[in-house]
Structures are given as C-alpha cells and as structure tokens.
Amino acid sequence: MLGMSVVATMILSALVAPVDSPATSVPTEKITLDIKTINGSGCPAGTATASADVASDNTAFTVHYTNFTAKAGGGASALEARKNCQINVLVHVPQGFTYAIASAEYRGFAHIESGASALEQANYYFAGTSPTARVRHTFPGPFHGVWRAVDATDVADLVFAPCGESRNLNINAELRADAGGSSGGTYIEMDSEHASVDTIYHFAWKDC
C-alpha cells in the first residue's frame, strides 16, 4: 500500500471510574449500529454522507465517508482548508457486555505538493464523558497516494461505556490542508470512493 504509517498512543480522559481488565471473548450476538446524527463542515447535509458497518466477528466497525475533503492552494478558498465531520452513533450491545474503543485506523487519499502539508486528527467520547485527546498525524509533501494513521490505546487507559446504559458514541474527525510555499493544489480526503480508505474502530469488550 502506498502511504505513510503513523502509530501514536491515544491519551484518554473520562469521567468514569477505573475498570477491570477487558473480557477475553467477544459477544456472539450480532452487534448493530444506529447513526443518529452527522454534521460538520466536512459532511454538511445534502453534500456528503457517512455510514457504518460492524464486522461479522464483532471485533470492529467501519465508518465510510463521502466527499470529506480539505483543500488548499490551486484556487481553493480558505474555508476549504479545514473540514470536520462528527458522527453520533448508538452501539447496541448484548446484555452482560460493555465496550471501549481499543484502536482506530484512519485511511484516506491525498495529493500534497512539495512545500505543502496535510493533517488528520480525530477523537471520540461517550455522551456524558470527556472527549479523548486528539492525536495529530501530519503528512508533508511531496506525496500522492493512500495515507494511513493508527491510534492505539493501552489496556489501562481504555474508557468503557457504562454497563447497563445506552450511551451514544461521538466520533469527531478533522482534516486540514496547508499549501505552505507551494503554488499547486493540495488536498487530503477520507472518501469511500477510493478503495481501502475507510476508517476502522476496533472494540475492546468487557463483562459487566
């Protein structure tokens, strides 16, 4: 695969009590997702969409974006240089289990001119808890192809949804493009029209 790989530890903070070690098995009952709201400059109503699918083994879910792109240079306006998209999703969890987000894989396509740069960052949080810290992934030019960034969470820092409660999960992703000293157009995108650029969130399961 073309692109860059960046692995960072995601520092989490939330208004929840410490938890025990996660479960060693995953629920056998099929997990489902309901996207409640989608909003942001990178996914305004009528111009962009997002959807989500759960893996058949309940270990992860995938978010698909459409037309989520930040641009700079080449005639792009200043408003196009920074885009965000926030998704509010309810994960239906079988009785006796709860979950945390153990890691996230972000992929996209980019064209970055020499002297320019692009950035991806994201965070997530359960309703009623503090957002996770944003981990920045910066991509310098020249570059053309598929980029990749990974955020991984240590077991001790996992933030689990409260047992027995329905808490919506908020995912807020941001893309930025900076033309720098270049004269050409630069862009970075998370767009499912390109192959293998979906965002994947991996579950950690815990018995309640």
Backbone dihedral angles phi then psi of residue 101, each to the nearest 5 degrees? -95, 115
* Cβ neighbours, 10 Å, residue 195: 9
Check residue 178 and give its pLDDT.
97
CB of 100 closer than 8 Å to CB of 203: yes
C-alpha–C-alpha distance, residues 151 and 65, integer Å: 19
Instruction: Name residues of the chain where pLDDT drops below 70.
Output: 1-24, 45-49, 192-197
Spell out where the chain has E strands.
Answer: 5-9, 32-39, 49-54, 60-66, 68-72, 82-92, 97-112, 117-126, 137-140, 143-152, 169-178, 186-190, 199-207
β-pairing verdict for 186-190 and 137-140:
unpaired
